[in-house]
Amino acid sequence: MAHIQWYPGHMAKAKKEVQSQLSAVDIVLEIRDARIPTASMNPMLDEIIKNKRHMIVLNKQDLADPQQTKEWVKALSGENKLAIALDSKKLGDMKIFRQALKDFTQDIQDKWRNKGILHKSIRVMVIGIPNVGKSTFINQFTKQKKAQVGNKPGVTKGQQWIKIDKDFELLDTPGILWPKFEDQEVADKLALTGGIKDTHFYKDDVALFALEFFLHHYPDAISNHYPINAEDVHPPYPDLLMALTKRMGMLEDYDRASDKIIRDYRDGKLGRMTLDRIEEYQISENIEVSD
């Protein structure tokens, strides 16, 4: 993959902005893409938020492999950290989320009550890399709750708190962090899922990455969706892309065919597929695999 730039200046600015807001919040809600739970995280986040309560939302679970998501939720939850999978477009998922958030922060409320502090809301900040669904999540979670509660110290001017209910207030604009896409595989995964602008990569490079990945992990996905027999789906991948282009009636327009493959993946038309594999993560983190 070529020409994907990582701007240290952007990263430093984003880090500063987030840090300036942190003192005003009780919990950081980090949104990631359930299809790429590691590629969609910001590598500096733990360092930035330090001991702050941290909830990880694996968003777009409707597009991810359910078995993988189940394992990811387990692997990413731990002390002071809770992961939950969501489809932010689904209102019903917000009820599940609300209850999980309440349970996860109950001890903070209890501590306040014991000190005689009543009627105080837990303040929540949403954070994440571009396109993971931060705005969708905020809109859905705050549906019909647009009563803003004004500026507070430590919050960038213009930002508002939205009162969700008696328990929670949410900062209305999310903190945006940048992914670290120095690694080619991470860049390919971000490009395929829409985490990098389409103008920043060559579509055929990403389509070739996708074909290889699909064949390796979801072998029937290509022949199930495109007019090609399963026995014709094999490397070399450039030949496979050429064959698919022709069979889709696009002659030699490989860019158009690549674009279609990328879009079909993003729209879930090829099936629910997770690009970051839990098995690889468990090996890299030395996590014991559960049955």
Quick one: DSSP state of residue 275? S
69 binds ligand G4P (CB under 6 A): no
Among 130, 172, 200, 228, the residue binding ligand G4P under the rule CB under 6 A is 130
Phi-psi region of 208 (alpha: psi -120 to 50; beta: other; left: phi over 0): alpha
191 binds ligand G4P (CB under 6 A): no
Please tell me whether 59 is known to bind a ligand. yes
62 binds ligand G4P (CB under 6 A): yes
Please tell me whether 284 is known to bind a ligand. no
Binning the chain into helix, strand and coil, the percentages to the nearest 5 are: 45, 15, 40
C-beta closer to ligand G4P: residue 63 or 222? 63
Query: Shortest Cβ contact with ligand G4P: which residue?
Result: 133
C-beta separation of 254 from 272 below 8 A: no
Judging by DSSP bridges, how do beta strands 53-59 and 81-85 pair with one another?
Answer: parallel
CB of 238 to ligand G4P, least distance (A): 29
CB of 275 to ligand G4P, least distance (A): 15
63 binds ligand G4P (CB under 6 A): yes
Please tell me whether 249 is known to bind a ligand. no
Considering only the stretches 5-13, 40-48, 126-134, 209-217, report the one whose residues sit in contact with ligand G4P under the rule CB under 6 A: 126-134
134 binds ligand G4P (CB under 6 A): yes
C-beta closer to ligand G4P: residue 126 or 240? 126
CB of 130 to ligand G4P, least distance (A): 5
Distance CA 101, CA 83 (A): 10
Among 17, 22, 52, 89, the residue binding ligand G4P under the rule CB under 6 A is 89
Distance CA 144, CA 178 (A): 30
Lay out the site mask for ligand G4P across 144-183 (x = CB under 6 A, - = otherwise).
----------------------------------------
142 binds ligand G4P (CB under 6 A): no
Tokens of 272: 């629910």
Alpha-carbon distance values, 10 to 4, 15, 16, 50, 182 (Å) = 14, 8, 10, 21, 14
Residues contacting 4, CB < 8 A, separation 6+: 181, 187, 191, 196, 200, 201
Residues contacting 123, CB < 8 A, separation 6+: 24, 25, 26, 27, 161, 168, 169, 170, 171
Please tell me whether 206 is known to bind a ligand. no
Distance CA 275, CA 39 (A): 9
Considering only the stretches 60-68, 156-164, 205-213, 252-260, report the one whose residues sit in contact with ligand G4P under the rule CB under 6 A: 60-68
CB of 230 to ligand G4P, least distance (A): 28
Alpha-carbon distance values, 190 to 35, 138, 160, 254 (Å) = 10, 22, 30, 21
Please tell me whether 132 is known to bind a ligand. yes
Q: Phi/psi at 85 (nearest 5 deg)? A: -100, 140
Residues forming the site for ligand G4P (CB under 6 A): 59-60, 62-63, 87-89, 128, 130-136
Residue list for the binding site: 59-62, 131-136, 175
